[in-house]
Structure 1
Amino acid sequence: MTPGPAAATPTATHVSTRVDIALLGVRSDAPVRRAGGAGPSDDGHFIVNGEGAAIPLNPASPYVVTSSGRLTLDGADLGFDVAPVVRPAFYDLETADGINYEKIAKLHGKNVLATTVVQTCVRYDESERCRFCAIEASLDAGLTIAVKTPAMLAEVAEAAVRLDGITSMVMTTGTSNGWDRGAKHLARCVRAVKRAVPDLEIQVQCEPPADLRAITDLYEAGARSIGIHVESMDEDVRRRWMPGKSRVSMDEYRAAWREAVRVFGFNQVSTYLLVGMGEDPDELVEGARELIEMGVYPFVVPFRPLKGTLATDVDRVPAPHRSVLNSVTSRVAAMLQAAGMRGEDQRAGCVACGACSALKTAGA
């Protein structure tokens, strides 16, 4: 693949400010936000300088979004246009059997439809659970339903595209007991949505399936990018934060990433790397380098306290220091730029949206 043209060099001040508001939040209202779920945040959704951004709503934040749509710090204009994402029209609709569309899929960023097709996980017992995850909290609160059928998702996607200009969709899933770890149901859902709205770009997200042929099945169903999320490549961090998921070995992840790059292509495969779980920042950056060399985009995102997670409610782990996040983000962004990997070149998904990370602001 021929790399796209290099992005304009961002200013260090803009990157630092974007990191700050990702951690400290803003004082503002946000009609569109996400509560609970698998993470990485339950923030409000905004448009910041034309790009989607997920930002905590914090009444104590020093950063203020003014009524004129500017970001200020102690009254000083910081050079960011900021506007809350408008509540989408499809949220007001429901299926024939009375299920509100918002319980089936949600708006993320400015134009991304996102859904967790199975809102339960075999690893959700406290001894197994990923400590940053609250995938079943929104289910317990009645904000979603346990299983979204292909027909439901096709119905909601069609309405979201028609009414609200949705351009891409993300489908993730809790992990199942089967060999596919949830990929089979994802593939069924992708096929149904593509029949209803053929031009909608779709990303799928799942753990490495035991049989890697499932990756080809997802591509043939119509997905055009894939997230296989490891969160950390440090074995000690994985065992401490992801006791169940860490039993899926790094060798399995590497095999799945390589196969996914073969099937989906360079820069159409991604994985989350969470900053703030105790991993050495230099080692995290070196892990990102390995991923980039494979053609996998390391989506660097801060760990942020999410209500309903063990890390927040039991461990009381704070968000990372902004100097650490700023350094890691800038260093990984420079490597991505050198490799010709840009988030905007992904066909769909978290990287293409970019709302939960400062990498886009940093030029990646």
Structure 2
Amino acid sequence: MTPLISTERLINALQTHGVRLADPKAGLASRRGGAGPSDHKAITLDGMTVMVPVHTAPAFESPYVAEAPDDAGNSRILRDNVAVGAISFPKRPRFYDLSTADGIPYPKIAVLHGRDVLATTVLQTCVRYQSRTKTCQFCAIGQSLAGGRTIERKTPAQLAEVARAAVELDSVRHMVLTTGTPPGRDRGAAILTESATAIKAAVDLPIQAQCEPPDEDAWFTRMHDAGIDTLGLHLEAVTPSVRARIMPGKAQVPLSRYFDAFAAAIAIFGRGQVSTYILAGLGDTPDAILTMSERLIGLGVYPFVVPFVPISGTPLESHPAPTPAFMDEILRPLSAMLREANLLAADIKAGCGKCGACSALSTYERRPAA
């Protein structure tokens, strides 16, 4: 069927409003809690895999409803009982049915994001999380651990075992390694490096690593030498006042350090292979996000702008999600800037920007909105 609105705007609408599931069983394979995308479910829309909120407060009141899927997993999105798009639900990955040599179910080690991305939080704790004066107000990293859906520390051997199975059984094409921030000056770079070394020894799989900027730029060379292909250094918010309010602990790492780290990392990983996550809707204006994005693009850093999703159980669970119009106001000009700079999601070797399922940005890049 032909969507009543453009695919780009429909994705914006579904990711900001969320989706109600007519069949609750369709949400069984969704993501609850954890390091994100949390409280989401993957759908396939117009040939693209999109992560949409299904367990958030806005989703429970969303005007968008996903019909119960048929036996092949096909469904439709309805608004006011009118179909606005055809979707399907991806099948449960086959590697989810296995356990590691030491008896841990594979989904507790790593999970499928989008359609073909394996993702894990290597360390499911963070030095900032237990303190409400330091924690990122949007973060749910401890929820999946408390719920028994993951383990605190994934060993290199476990990650290598699961990665190999995900490639062989489910044709996974790239992997994301993220981490809570541990104590110490490397801010997680060390455990990401040892994890990547083990994975690359087991399977040829492009890897993105994500952490706060380590204090020493030498870590970027070590990470690259370990087989990490792309790097994510995530700003989340771009205005100093918003950063201080929303993530008081992480904001202690100043923007100046981020930009020094971006420049040093680009020299190692290459233009377009370093990215940053920006959550739109936390208080930054569209102009502030676009101004920051222009600076990042000038360095060769890909700004992956996604809509903020209020996660249940976090301090921002009642914070409103951005509107579809707000996201369009950012993503339309941002995609034009990226096309002009030839800095495109399709050219990223691994990671969130390449996957693109948490934002309509890559869709705007491919098909500029009218």
Tell me the TM-score normalized by structure 1: 0.92
Once the two structures are superposed, the pairs formed by residues 107-256 of structure 1 within 5 Å of their partners are 107-124=112-129, 125-198=131-204, 200-256=205-261
Counterpart in the other structure of 1:8: none
The reply to whether residue 61 of structure 1 matches residue 67 of structure 2 is no
Counterpart in the other structure of 1:5: none
The whole-number CA distance in structure 2 between the counterparts of 1:99 and 1:126 is 31
Gaps of 5+ in 1: 1-10
1:73 to 58, 61, 79: 79
Q: Which has the higher contact order (CA 8 A, sep 6+)?
A: 1
Q: CA RMSD in A?
A: 1.7
Residue 36 of structure 1, CA deviation: 0.6
The whole-number CA distance in structure 1 between the counterparts of 2:36 and 2:62 is 21
The whole-number CA distance in structure 2 between the counterparts of 1:61 and 1:231 is 25
**Residue 13 of structure 2 aligns to which amino acid in structure 1?**
D
**Residue 329 of structure 1 aligns to which amino acid in structure 2?**
L
Identity of aligned residues (%): 46
SS in 1 for 2:115: coil
Deviation sequence 1:327-351 (CA, Å, 0-9, x none): 1111211111111111121101000
Counterpart in the other structure of 2:262: 257
**Residue 327 of structure 1 aligns to which amino acid in structure 2?**
E
The reply to whether residue 52 of structure 1 matches residue 58 of structure 2 is no
Deviation sequence 1:107-144 (CA, Å, 0-9, x none): 00001000000001011111100001111111111111
Gaps of 5+ in 2: none
Once the two structures are superposed, the pairs formed by residues 291-306 of structure 1 within 5 Å of their partners are 291-306=296-311
Once the two structures are superposed, the pairs formed by residues 256-275 of structure 1 within 5 Å of their partners are 256-275=261-280
1:32 and 1:107 in contact (8 A); partners too:
no
The whole-number CA distance in structure 1 between the counterparts of 2:39 and 2:262 is 28
The whole-number CA distance in structure 2 between the counterparts of 1:72 and 1:341 is 35
User: How many residues end up aligned between the 2 structures?
Assistant: 350
1:32 and 1:85 in contact (8 A); partners too:
no
**Residue 357 of structure 2 aligns to which amino acid in structure 1?**
A
The whole-number CA distance in structure 2 between the counterparts of 1:197 and 1:320 is 39
**Residue 229 of structure 1 aligns to which amino acid in structure 2?**
H
1:39 to 36, 39, 55: 36
Residue 322 of structure 1, CA deviation: 2.1
SS in 1 for 2:279: strand
Counterpart in the other structure of 1:3: none
1:226 and 1:264 in contact (8 A); partners too:
yes
The whole-number CA distance in structure 2 between the counterparts of 1:20 and 1:252 is 35
The whole-number CA distance in structure 2 between the counterparts of 1:255 and 1:25 is 37
Residue 48 of structure 1, CA deviation: 1.8
Moved more, 36-45 or 234-243: 36-45
**Residue 339 of structure 2 aligns to which amino acid in structure 1?**
Q
